[in-house]
Amino acid sequence: MASIDRTAYPRFDKMLSLQELENRYELNKNERSFINLSAKGRRQSVTLAVLLKTRQQLGYFPSLREVPDQITQYLSKQLEHPFETAVIDEKRLRTSFKRYRDTIRVTLGSKAFMSGGHQRASQVIRTAAAIMSDPADLINVAVEELIKANIELPAFSTLDRLAGHVRQKVHGELYARMTDGLTSGQQEILEKLLVVPDGGNFTPFNRLKQSPGTPRLGHVRLWASHLDEMEAIIDPTPFLQGIADQTSSCMSKCSQSCSDGCFLKSCWRLTRRGY
């Protein structure tokens, strides 16, 4: 699972300054009129104001329990309600809560994620996965696209699962595309890289993916020799034709990060079988 801290998925800040509150949560004249016409009662109008402004700031409707008190209190003050006015219970008054969200969608001209958001996010992630590998980057691409289209963001876990699923599918297709042209002899050579030799502790693949080390002359010479050995195994050029440089680079990084030769071997065999 990708770390939400490494993505652009919007969240509440722990504490806002007065200037930040004014910039993000100040109600304009039209918004005040909208709230007065659409909600009756103190708690109802504060709830509608909270949903409206947080939807504008975050790109989705958060749980009311997650909204910081200072935001609710700042909006209550603008509506000339008591400082301690609370929002409604979203579980007990689900009908009102749903009606407020639907009204806000109409006012903002936005759509719920279920109204085309999944398909749109999947398409943009699929395109990005051809040149990116980091799940956080793929999630960021989806967040940017959904906000641009004025479609509500789903829960972070939903985007995380979607990015992981599409990424795995795209990279599987790329691996299959690159390995389809391998001869039986070349396949045998590659499979042997994933087998621990008798009396050894590591596979040849573990040695191949070693990093070059510090930039010293001795290491440079060793790395040049190491590079010659790698290129002598199989010439990769024919198999990378039509594959973007960014794609081969990110897939190389994925291979370097994988330390389990048995896992790679099983993946290699599944790919050959068409899975």
The string of pLDDT tens digits covering residues 149-199 is 999 999 999 999 999 999 999 988 888 887 888 888 888 888 888 888 888
Q: Kindly report, residue by residue over 42-87, the tens digit of the pLDDT.
A: 999 999 999 999 999 999 999 999 999 999 999 999 999 998 888 9
Per the model's pLDDT, the better-predicted residue between 269 and 161 turns out to be 161
Top pLDDT among 247 and 231 is at: 231
Query: 């040849």: which residue's tokens?
Result: 204
What's residue 184's pLDDT? 87
Taking 50 as the threshold, does the pLDDT of residue 274 lie above it?
no
Per-residue pLDDT, 244: 59
Distance CA 7, CA 139 (A): 7
Q: How far is CA 97 from CA 6, 64, 89, 175, in A?
A: 31, 10, 9, 47
Rounded alpha-carbon distances, angstroms, from residue 246 to 79, 137, 227, 232, 251 = 52, 14, 20, 23, 9
Assess whether pLDDT exceeds 70 at residue 252: no
Q: Do residues 252 and 205 touch, judged by C-beta distance below 8 A?
A: no
**Sign of the dihedral through C-alpha 11, 7, 144, 123:** negative
Determine the residue type at 237.
Answer: T
pLDDT given at position 234:
80
